[in-house]
Amino acid sequence: QKEVEQDPGPLSVPEGAIVSLNCTYSNSAFQYFMWYRQYSRKGPELLMYTYSSGNKEDGRFTAQVDKSSKYISLFIRDSQPSDSATYLCAMGAGTASKLTFGTGTRLQVTL
Amino acid sequence: DAGITQSPRHKVTETGTPVTLRCHQTENHRYMYWYRQDPGHGLRLIHYSYGVKDTDKGEVSDGYSVSRSKTEDFLLTLESATSSQTSVYFCATSTTGTDTEAFFGQGTRLTVV
């Protein structure tokens, strides 16, 4: 079993839809939870960063962490074609530790 | 981009030859990482460095070595390239580890024939 599980998709939604992306994990030492966005043939870039449990909102994006269930989510409201990308969840246990990535979910937002 | 340059961006090499990929950063970040990205596997850590001359193995380090003689440069060497090492390789940097953002380079697409 992988330490971090993420549905690879692809996920296709119409413009304006609410998108929900999820990851589950098994390592209870993870404290830092991130979502990276990766456009085709580009390097990943940080989208959202959360420490421990709770919610964090940034514009159309909301990240949720439920440590008791070992489950994290990224919600995208009013999705746009420019949101079409692969979304990678990533987790770490703290300073000097290593990030563990999910396999990524490919999202396609159609007009 | 956060001042991370990978070279070369594309390379085709023959099985059995050594290959070196270079990552150069201008951010003065302490941590540097090499990942490979493959369909169905996502990003997997090969090696990382937590300072000049300080390196450690990641989850897929077999067949790879690294060196970091200066803060700004992190080299990844495939000692004898195999077809299974055909992949996209990403370099990343961060200031203090996983409690801070990792910045990624644009990637190197390596094909071993």
Q: Which of B9, B11, B7 is nearest to B23 (CA)?
A: B7
Q: Which pLDDT does position A72 carry in this prediction?
A: 97
Measured between alpha carbons, how far is residue B111 from residues A38, B34, B59, B92 in Å? 21, 17, 21, 21
**Do B108 and B10 meet the contact criterion of CB atoms below 8 Å apart?**
yes
Pick the residue from chain A with its C-alpha nearest to B37. A103
Measured between alpha carbons, how far is residue B37 from residues B13, B21, B43, B89 in Å? 18, 15, 5, 6
Dihedral angle, C-alpha B99, A18, A66, A63, nearest 10 °: 20
Rounded Cα–Cα distance for residues B48 and B31 (Å): 7
Q: What percent of chain A has pLDDT over 90?
A: 78
Residues from chain B contacting residue A45 (CB–CB below 8 Å)? 104
- Given a cut of 70, whether residue B99 has pLDDT beyond it is no
- Given a cut of 80, whether residue A98 has pLDDT beyond it is no
Segment A41-59 shows an average pLDDT of 91
Rounded Cα–Cα distance for residues B45 and B68 (Å): 16
Residues from chain A contacting residue B44 (CB–CB below 8 Å)? 101
Segment A60-69 shows an average pLDDT of 95
pLDDT tens digits for B13-39? 999 999 999 999 999 999 999 999 998
Contact flag B90-A34 (C-beta cutoff 8 Å): no
Least confident of A74-78, B62-66, B100-104, B107-111: B100-104
Q: How far is B76 from chain A (nearest CA, A)?
A: 17
pLDDT tens digits for A18-37? 999 999 999 999 999 999 99
Higher pLDDT, A82 or B98: A82
> In this complex, is the C-beta atom of B10 within 8 Å of any C-beta atom belonging to chain A?
no
Say if residue B105 is exposed, middle or buried (CB neighbours under 10 Å; 0-12, 13-18, 19+). Answer: buried
pLDDT tens digits for B42-97? 899 999 999 999 999 998 999 999 999 999 999 999 999 999 999 999 999 988 76
Rounded Cα–Cα distance for residues B35 and B47 (Å): 7
Chain A residues in contact with chain B using a Cβ-Cβ cutoff of 8 Å? 6, 8, 31-32, 34, 41-46, 49, 51, 88, 90-104
Rounded Cα–Cα distance for residues A58 and B39 (Å): 29
